[in-house]
Amino acid sequence: MAGGGFSKLPGGSVVVALTLPSPLGEQSHVRVLVHAANRARALTRLRNLGLRAVYLRGNTHPPTPDEVTAVLHHPDGLIWRTAPDEVSELWHPIRSLLRPARTA
């Protein structure tokens, strides 16, 4: 279940949505949304966070209007949640996905 896409906004910026394997090593996938000036910059933002093998090929799963609204209202413009979408799960900041697990 990998896929992604983008939506160009009236102001010229884009929202890129990607479904990726979870970087936590779990068997699940995550849906990541990025708001950026263009598609290349959106992918660069993810690569700079350590998600090196991130590519957008095609526009098979573009962000839904609800996803666009969610990422536009987040101060970082970079959010995620598990996929397939759980209706009850809220969007999380990307820091919570990439943060190393704490040991007690």
Nearest to 78 by CA among 86, 66, 89, 67: 67
Domain span including residue 67: 3-98
Decide if 81 is inside a domain.
yes
Look at residue 84 and tell me whether its pLDDT is greater than 70.
yes
Answer whether residue 104 is part of any domain: no
As a whole number, mean pLDDT of residues 13-19 equals 94
pTM: 0.84
- Domain total in the chain: 1
C-alpha distances (whole Å) from 104 to each of 26, 79, 101 are: 20, 27, 10
pLDDT of 102 above 60: no
Task: Read off the pLDDT of each residue in 72-92 and give the average, rounded to a whole number.
Answer: 85
